[in-house]
């Protein structure tokens, strides 16, 4: 159920969820202790790892390694360091997924709570910037041969959050 999904097999999370339920009888609330632990771990990340986690959180279901590379345009050694750090701290999961004709890695925050903490750390200007940077690689894929509806909706969702409703309408209209 809900507790198993939020707990994600993490004994600390599960313990805190049970403790929260016993103390408050609230079944669907996240204990502040869990959020505090995630915020604390997030605060110790390098800037490159923070940016990578935020980029993956903004891209959501469309987050793959090539898209993140295009989005962030980090030096490869910096991206590798960030990938290693996020993997080592169990804040990012990578799973094989098929995108088009070739297999790729989907990069996602390990948990929705990790994504929430990463996104709450963005200031409004950073959020607008990342949504614009997310829309661009998705839009360039749509300009090619791709007829992926998820890409279309992803791109159309990012442009308004980047403050460009016109590009969102144009993307949907020309597709």
d(CA 52, CA 64): 11
Task: Please report the DSSP string for the chain in residue order.
Answer: -HHHHHHTT-HHHHHHHHHHHHHH--SS---HHHHHHHHHHHHTS-HHHHHHHHHHHHHGGG-BHHHHHHHH---HHHHHHHHHHHHHTT-EEEEEEEETTEEEEEEEESSHHHHHHHHHTS-HHHHHHHHHHHHHHHHHHHHTT---HHHHHHHHHHHHHTT-HHHHHHHHHH-
The number of residues in the chain equals 175
Given this model, what pLDDT does residue 99 score?
A: 54
Adjacent-strand bridge partners of 145: none
Within a 10 A sphere around the Cβ of 51, how many other Cβ atoms? Answer: 22
142 in Cβ contact with 171 (< 8 Å) = yes
pLDDT tens, per residue, the chain with 175 residues: 544 555 555 665 665 666 666 666 766 667 778 888 889 999 999 999 999 999 999 999 999 999 999 999 999 999 999 999 999 998 998 776 655 555 577 899 988 889 999 999 999 999 999 999 999 988 888 877 667 788 888 888 999 999 998 887 777 666 5
Given this model, what pLDDT does residue 102 score?
A: 55
d(CA 160, CA 167): 8
Residue with the two structure tokens 């948990």: 111
């Amino acid at each position: 159920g809900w507790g198993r999904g939020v707990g994600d097999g993490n004994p600390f999370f599960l313990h805190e969820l049970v403790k929260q339920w016993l103390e408050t009888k609230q079944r669907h609330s996240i204990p502040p202790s869990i959020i505090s632990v995630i915020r604390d771990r997030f605060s110790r990340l390098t800037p490159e790892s923070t940016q990578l986690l935020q980029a993956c959180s903004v891209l959501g279901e469309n987050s793959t390694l090539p898209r993140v590379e295009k989005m962030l345009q980090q030096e490869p050694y910096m991206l590798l360091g960030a990938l290693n750090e996020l993997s080592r701290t169990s804040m990012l999961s990578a799973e094989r997924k098929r995108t088009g004709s070739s297999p790729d890695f989907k990069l996602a925050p390990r948990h929705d709570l990790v994504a929430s903490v990463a996104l709450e750390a963005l200031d409004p200007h950073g959020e607008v910037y990342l949504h614009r940077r997310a829309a661009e690689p998705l839009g360039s894929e749509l300009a090619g041969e791709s007829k992926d509806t998820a890409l279309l909706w992803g791109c159309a969702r990012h442009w308004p959050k980047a403050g460009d409703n016109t590009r969102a309408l144009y993307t949907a209209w020309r597709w």
